[in-house]
Structure 1
C-alpha cells in the first residue's frame, strides 16, 4: 500500500528522497535537482541502492510509470509515495 500526492504539494522545504524513473533520454527535458535516477526497467536490479528505512517519492513524466513502480516497491516492503502529474507538472526547483 502506498499514498499519492500531487507535484504541487511538494515544497522546497521538504527533505525528500526523490527517485526519477523516466528513461535517460527524457532527462534532457528537465530533472529535479538531487533526484536519484533509476529508470523503471532497472528498478528490480537496483534495490540494493534503496533503504527500507527511508520514504521515497517516485516521479516519472505523468504519474503512470511511477504508479507501477510504487506498486512494485511497496510489495517489496519499501515506503513509497507516488507523485501524480510527474515532471509534466513540475515547476521549478525543489
Structure 2
C-alpha cells in the first residue's frame, strides 16, 4: 500500500530538500502549484520513470486532491521508486493558507 502524508508534513520534508512532482495537467498547474514542485503530468509518468528514479530518498507526488497522485505513486512504487502521495493535494495546500505560485514556470 502506498504511503500518504498531509500537507503539513510536506512542508517539513520540502524544507529538508525533498523532491516533489505535480501530476496534474499544465493548465491546472498554472492556476496554482506548490512552489518548487516539478510538473510531470500523470499521462507522462511512465515515460519519465528512469528520470524520476535518479534521486536519493522518496519521491513525493501531489495533484489536485490526492487521487491522481495516489495512482502515480502506486505506479512508481510498482516500478521500484519509493513514492509518497500527498493526501488532499494542492487544494489542501491552498486551503491551509500556505504560499503557492501561479503560471507555467516553477
Return the TM-score normalized by structure 1: 0.88
Residue 50 of structure 1 aligns to a residue whose secondary structure is helix
Which residue in 2 is equivalent to 1:9?
A: 9
Task: Tell me by how many angstroms 1:11 deviates.
Answer: 2.3
Contact kept, 8 Å, 1:21 with 1:60, in 2: the verdict is yes
Hey, which of these two has a bigger chunk of strand by percent? 1
Distance in 2, Cα, partners of 1:28 & 1:51: 25
Residue 4 of structure 1 aligns to a residue whose secondary structure is strand
Aligned to 2:78, which of 63, 68, 75? 75
Aligned residues: 93
Instruction: Name stretches of at least 5 consecutive residues in structure 1 with no aligned partner.
Output: none
Contact kept, 8 Å, 1:8 with 1:89, in 2: the verdict is no
Which residue in 1 is equivalent to 2:52?
A: 50
Which residue in 2 is equivalent to 1:34?
A: 36
Distance in 2, Cα, partners of 1:69 & 1:11: 20
Aligned-residue CA RMSD (Å): 1.6
Q: Deviations over 1:32-85 (max 9, x none)?
A: 222111000110011122125431110000000000001100000100111000
Return the TM-score normalized by structure 2: 0.79
Instruction: Name stretches of at least 5 consecutive residues in structure 2 with no aligned partner.
Output: 101-106
